[in-house]
Amino acid sequence: MKLILLIFICCSFMITSCKQEDNLKYKDKTVTIEDRINDLVGRMTLKEKIFQLNQYIFGVNTNANNIGETINEIPPEIGSLIYFSSDPETRNQLQKKAMEETRLGIPILFGFDVIHGFRTIYPISLAQACSWNPELVKNACAVAAKESKLSGVDWTFSPMIDVARDARWGRVAEGYGEDQYTNAVFGVASVMGYQGESLSDTFSIAACLKHYVGYGQSEGGRDYRYTEVSPQSLWETFLPPYEACVKAGAATLMSAFNDISGVPATANHYTLTEILKERWKHDGFVVSDWDAVDQLINQGVAGDRKEAGYKAFMAGVEMDMKDNIYMENIPQLVNEKKIPIEKIDDAVARILRIKFRLGLFDKPYTTIVEETNRYLQPASRAIAKQLAVESIVLLKNEKQILPLETALKSIALIGPMANDKSNLMGAWSYNGKEQDVESILEGLIKEYKNEVSINFSKGCDFDGIDEAGFQEAIKAAQKSEIIIVCLGEKKNWSGENASRSSIALPPIQEKLVTELHKTGKPLILVLSNGRPLELVRLEPLADAIVEIWQPGTEGGSAVAGILSGKFNPSGKLAITFPLTTGQIPIYYNMRPSARTGTQGNYQDISTEPLYWFGHGMSYSDFEYDSVRISSEKITREQKLIAEVTVSNSGKMTGKETVLWFISDPVCSISRPVKELKYFDKKEIQAGSKTTFRFEIDPMRDLSYVDATGNRILESGGFYIHVNGQKLKFELVD
């Protein structure tokens, strides 16, 4: 009897405590997120709060640059984990502990570097920008989000929107090129793809804008180094993509490794708090980059870990990635009253806000779906393929040697990239698998079935001095009608910690082309790389050059289709190709020179790059008629409509991107020679024409920012630049 009574008491106690649990305001879905946050923060101890501010590592980091040991016992109270696993069941076990074995049951936020696809790998970001198709990029990011979510990942450290103008810096591969507007447009597209309509949607993940800010300005292209960023260029060049993406609702940002003119980005109160939180009203949170808090010591602004933690936290970095400094030092800093508790509460609230918005409190576990239904779905592959096709840039096409003639009977396919799979995926493709990728050789074999004999020979490796394969390659060339040489960079030659003093391909690859050229056969270069290359010696040897970047899972078939003419190239460069490394930095939107003509040019080489930003050819012939404008004078309140009609006089239907630039020749602060303000890509049927239209909004398109971020609109003359045409108009008061 006693036992029964005891069981009864225990049961009713458990039920009441569960009921109490259920009644907790922060667990109630019907309450507003802000009320849930306030309720929860009000219940948390200092220790529980500090746990939220830390991110630990789960699994083995495959990024060779980041040595970080996995922790055997993950504390279930931890705010976030970098999840080096693709197993949703393991995530659910970790999450179960957080939900059920901690006092408050706060879910863990699982983050990961999903940079250009999770398992279905699509082209690197630099290539994506060359597609000029933000809708396609948005769709690709939505695929990545879905595959991530089904693998247990809620948050990606992407997009990278660092404007980068130095091709020696390996991370140019990870951003959208040299132009701030392009970075803004593609950054927004990718945020929208990842985050969907709402963060709480089934397949949405949170985006993280990185690396805030100025990281692309790395001196000499050296990674992790000092960056000189003047207040003017901060506002004019580096902040605009961030501002656009924050406005588009990006949930989080990552503070950068670099040092902004003496104040590291991770300890920069001006950028992290005054601009981001106070001016732009961002209400999500900032995570540090890997060890970036600890690195404040190396950067010379903190004497020890405690000071580093204090500086980063007070500047506005809410979450500490990996280095455990917040965990170790914030309790003491709060007890010493150096960090006010209100600041801790605000930081915790920001992190919880994203967890609530993601719906993690209400649906903390990943739905388990069979692996075959999780990845590489036909629709996902189709998006990856279309993006690979549209990001390929036809740089040169002498005598229209491409597309390959239909009567062709033999091709020599040569070079280290010709039958490579791994390198086609590019850096940051952790979960990408070679078995999913089609090489260029396989793509061509499929494309031509048995109709064309493909004589493959690797010729040489990516680097080194071994020329033993040259003879076989030359023989393959001699017995073929045309030579296709596939060269490029290995995937770890670009990306993080992949700076190069020269952007030329290694001499062995250049020598292979020189030898093949001697056969006198037509030669097509196919290049796969993560940065612009120095092509000064190779370009004269090639009849055609096809820049395929690192195109991902569907790369092989995309390239084969471009070569055969099944697909019409439509990519245009989002970054300038210098003639030689010595021209760096060279970018289209530079400021005008004090002397014109030949003065100030290089004495030894041309001052022109090999291919400017915006360069890219098609198999169609696009002809632009004269640009028309609605008026030659507008007031500040009026809009100006500019239109241009483009005809496709070629035989193939193709897509053309019209890039609309503006210049302001006289201004209180000198403006760049021209600035991209809008672009539009449209398909034009062979033999038909289409009109492209740009509606100029004076405040948005004709103004500039000063060194404090104030937007100023000065009246006077402006020019519209489109495809070599230049048209004047005036803004009157």
User: Which residues are catalytic, by number?
Assistant: 289
Interface residues for ligand BGC in 371-430 (CB under 6 A)?
Answer: none
Under the binding rule (CB under 6 A), the answer on residue 65 touching ligand BGC is yes
Distance of CA 406 to the CA centre of its chain: 37
Shortest reach from residue 56's CB to ligand BGC, in Å: 12
Rank residues 49 and 210 by Cβ distance to ligand BGC and give the closer one. Answer: 210
Residue 85 CB contacts under 8 Å (≥ 6 apart), including other chains: 58, 59, 91, 151, 152
Rank residues 225 and 306 by Cβ distance to ligand BGC and give the closer one. Answer: 225
Interface residues for ligand BGC in 466-505 (CB under 6 A)?
Answer: 496
Give the integer Cα–Cα distance in Å for 701 and 661.
10
Under the binding rule (CB under 6 A), the answer on residue 113 touching ligand BGC is yes
Task: Name the residue whose CB lies closest to ligand BGC.
Answer: 157
Max Cα-Cα span within the chain: 105
Residue 209 backbone phi and psi in degrees, to 5: -80, 130
Shortest reach from residue 521's CB to ligand BGC, in Å: 43
User: What are the angstrom distances between the C-alpha of 440 and each of 134, 554, 630?
Assistant: 26, 10, 48
Shortest reach from residue 623's CB to ligand BGC, in Å: 43
Handedness of CA 563, 567, 568, 573 (dihedral sign): negative
Give the integer Cα–Cα distance in Å for 193 and 331.
38
Which segment (63-71, 239-247, 300-308, 712-720) binds ligand BGC by CB under 6 A?
63-71
> Residue 629 corresponds to which amino acid?
I
Question: Does residue 403 have a cis bond before it (omega within 30 degrees)?
Answer: yes
Give the integer Cα–Cα distance in Å for 223 and 579.
23
> Residue 252 corresponds to which amino acid?
T
Under the binding rule (CB under 6 A), the answer on residue 63 touching ligand BGC is yes
Near ligand BGC by CB under 6 A: residue from 290, 313, 549, 661: 290
Residue 236 backbone phi and psi in degrees, to 5: -85, -40
Shortest reach from residue 553's CB to ligand BGC, in Å: 21
Rank residues 289 and 701 by Cβ distance to ligand BGC and give the closer one. Answer: 289
Rank residues 63 and 478 by Cβ distance to ligand BGC and give the closer one. Answer: 63
Which segment (1-9, 60-68, 229-237, 574-582) binds ligand BGC by CB under 6 A?
60-68
Distance of CA 222 to the CA centre of its chain: 19
Give the integer Cα–Cα distance in Å for 634 and 493.
50
Shortest reach from residue 321's CB to ligand BGC, in Å: 7
Contact 660, 677 (CB under 8 A): yes
Contact 604, 164 (CB under 8 A): no
Contact 104, 40 (CB under 8 A): yes
Give the integer Cα–Cα distance in Å for 85 and 371.
14
Q: Which two tokens stand for residue 580?
A: 């030689």
Transcribe 388-450 into DSSP letters: HHHH-EEEEEGGG--SPPTT--EEEEESTTTT-STGGG-SS-TT--GGGPPPHHHHHHHHHTT
Shortest reach from residue 65's CB to ligand BGC, in Å: 6
Q: Which two tokens stand for residue 77?
A: 């109270």
Rank residues 63 and 453 by Cβ distance to ligand BGC and give the closer one. Answer: 63
Shortest reach from residue 63's CB to ligand BGC, in Å: 5
Here's the x/- map for ligand BGC, 528-557, by CB under 6 A: it reads as ------------------------------
Q: Which two tokens stand for residue 232?
A: 């003017």
Q: Which of 494, 525, 496, 615 is nearest to 211 (CA)?
A: 496
Here's the x/- map for ligand BGC, 193-232, by CB under 6 A: it reads as -----------------x----------------------
SS3 110: strand
Give the integer Cα–Cα distance in Å for 284 and 131.
30
Under the binding rule (CB under 6 A), the answer on residue 93 touching ligand BGC is no
Rank residues 210 and 458 by Cβ distance to ligand BGC and give the closer one. Answer: 210
Rank residues 112 and 456 by Cβ distance to ligand BGC and give the closer one. Answer: 112
Give the integer Cα–Cα distance in Å for 376 and 144.
10
Give the integer Cα–Cα distance in Å for 457 and 475.
9
Count of residues in contact with ligand BGC, rule CB under 6 A: 9
Upper half-sphere CA count for residue 670 (Cβ side, 13 Å) = 8
Q: Beta-strand (E) ranges in 272-407?
A: 285-288, 320-321, 393-397
Shortest reach from residue 229's CB to ligand BGC, in Å: 18
Place of tokens 């405590």: 17
Contact 684, 654 (CB under 8 A): yes
Which segment (59-67, 343-351, 638-646, 691-699) binds ligand BGC by CB under 6 A?
59-67
Shortest reach from residue 667's CB to ligand BGC, in Å: 36
Interface residues for ligand BGC in 660-719 (CB under 6 A)?
Answer: none
Shortest reach from residue 305's CB to ligand BGC, in Å: 19
Burial of residue 594 (number of CB atoms within 10 Å: 0-12, 13-18, 19+): exposed
Which segment (58-66, 194-202, 450-458, 505-513) binds ligand BGC by CB under 6 A?
58-66
Question: Does residue 213 have a cis bond before it (omega within 30 degrees)?
Answer: yes
Under the binding rule (CB under 6 A), the answer on residue 157 touching ligand BGC is yes
Give the integer Cα–Cα distance in Å for 331 and 327.
8
Which segment (25-33, 61-69, 144-152, 391-399) binds ligand BGC by CB under 6 A?
61-69
Shortest reach from residue 374's CB to ligand BGC, in Å: 22
Burial of residue 84 (number of CB atoms within 10 Å: 0-12, 13-18, 19+): middle
Rank residues 51 and 430 by Cβ distance to ligand BGC and give the closer one. Answer: 430
Shortest reach from residue 79's CB to ligand BGC, in Å: 15
Under the binding rule (CB under 6 A), the answer on residue 66 touching ligand BGC is yes
> Residue 579 corresponds to which amino acid?
L
Rank residues 77 and 113 by Cβ distance to ligand BGC and give the closer one. Answer: 113
Rank residues 158 and 589 by Cβ distance to ligand BGC and give the closer one. Answer: 158
Rank residues 66 and 422 by Cβ distance to ligand BGC and give the closer one. Answer: 66
Rank residues 129 and 610 by Cβ distance to ligand BGC and give the closer one. Answer: 129
Interacting residue ranges for ligand BGC, rule: CB under 6 A:
63, 65-66, 113, 157, 210, 289-290, 496
